[in-house]
Amino acid sequence: MGRLRRMLARRRPKLVSLRTTFAISFAAVTAAVAILVGIVSYGSAARLVRVDQQSVFSQVVQDVRDEVRQHRMEPDDFSSSRPGHDLVRPARTDVQVLGARGEIVDHGDPSLPVTSHDRSMALARTAGEAVEHKDVQVGDDLYRIATVSLGDGRGAVQVAQEFSDTEDLLRTLQQRTLILMAAVVVAAGLFGWWLARRITRRLVVLTNAAEDVARTRRLGIEVPVAGLDEVGRLGRAFDRMLGRLAQSEEDQRRLVQDAGHELRTPLTSLRTNISLLRRIDELPPDTRDDLVADLTQEARELTDLVNELVDLAAGQSDTEPPQRVDLADIAEDVVGLASRRTGRQILLRVSGDTTTDGRPGMLQRAMSNLVENAAKFDRAGQAPIEVHIMGPARPGTVRVEVLDRGPGIAEGDLIRIFDRFYRAADARSLPGSGLGLSIVREVAMAHGGAPFAYRREGGGAVIGFTVGGG
């Protein structure tokens, strides 16, 4: 088994870093461009040089033909020993003179080969006739040779141009071009490596941070990434994501701790009452009835607490898709259900456009908590509970208010009633867990709004929330 694992490990492909991939890609693109430019440039230069050399040679041959046609010239006129011959001999060419029978009367430097076609030009009657030879090997060099007749069988003059030196020049140019292309590719690879290192440096920081989070499970790691480009945006988004995850983890931890704390009291009471059940036959009937009533009440409170904990957790991670909803319709359902459950008169007032984007289940849960909270704290109240749905204060913003005539809220408790498990001193004797208004806050914030509470003029309280505030 161990051998098989080692074999699989050896066959596992090695990961190539983004830096290496970027550098290789940069060098490859640069190499392709350099090779293409080099080939095109060399081809154009070589073609221009060859055409230029051919044009010069053709012009020299044409000048010689024009000269012998216009003047009656003898082989001695082209002799290298004749004074002033440079005026007759074309410059930068090798000239060889043939006699009337095609023999060489003045050797060129180097001596040029003489063919039967060249001898026929020496015997030609018409001046200026020419025959041209390409790629003639003379020693180690290649020449172009043109033989021009002097006319009336007086001989001919051979004009030669070496073009192997041109090819040597082009070959040198080719080598230098290749060396330059290689240098460009190497420089591009080094520059690509440097550039990739500079670009991926921040990505490496992000990768190390992600690996650190995965290894240590610590979400409070700061991501030191700056910049206004996509990498900078990714770093800031990653940092915000870690912050949100850390906050969510902290919220869950506090929720578990608070829930454990709140569950201890009813569980302790249940345990005490259950222990009394072992002696229930010894207890008086009134005491037995009180014990059963206490157990029933404590079980109900535990059930309510668990349900509210589940609702709160669901509110933090609700997967219900948002949709266009009318809060007035939701409020109408909530008011009808609460009226039947509590037997209280509940008035609903709607004004303005109350539609917004939201999750119907979460919004219904928040409104139900507000109405039930008002009914709980105003048990003996004669005045109806009022529910106001108003919109929009701003485009897309809807305000939900629940008004009661209960004992009201102390000034010091107004800023704390939305905390989890918080219960004012006056409310600790009433049933409940202190999670209802906390759920309202979670729902409001999940919908871009906020909860609010203040004392109602004439007694009572106004508690509510806004949604759609951005």
CB 106 within 8 Å of CB 79 = yes
Please tell me the pTM assigned to this model: 0.45
Question: CA 326 → CA 196, 347, 360, 392, distances in Å?
Answer: 53, 18, 9, 12
d(C-alpha 340, C-alpha 346), whole Å? 10
Q: Which two tokens stand for residue 197?
A: 């290192």
CB 369 within 8 Å of CB 440 = yes
User: One digit per residue, pLDDT tens: the chain, 470 residues?
Assistant: 455 455 544 554 555 566 677 777 777 887 788 778 878 877 777 777 777 777 878 888 888 888 888 888 888 877 776 654 444 455 567 888 888 888 888 888 888 888 888 888 888 888 888 898 887 888 777 788 899 898 888 889 888 887 766 666 777 777 887 888 788 878 877 887 787 777 777 777 777 777 777 777 776 666 666 667 677 777 777 777 877 777 777 777 776 766 665 566 567 777 777 777 777 777 787 777 777 777 776 777 677 667 666 665 665 555 678 889 999 999 999 898 888 777 888 999 999 989 998 888 888 888 888 888 888 877 666 788 899 999 887 777 899 999 988 877 777 677 777 776 655 545 444 444 557 788 888 888 888 899 998 888 888 889 999 998 65
d(C-alpha 252, C-alpha 261), whole Å? 14
CB 75 within 8 Å of CB 97 = yes
Greatest Cα pair distance in the chain: 162
CB 107 within 8 Å of CB 95 = no
CB 30 within 8 Å of CB 180 = no
d(C-alpha 377, C-alpha 431), whole Å? 10
d(C-alpha 420, C-alpha 334), whole Å? 23
Q: What are residue 159's DSSP bridge partners?
A: 95, 146
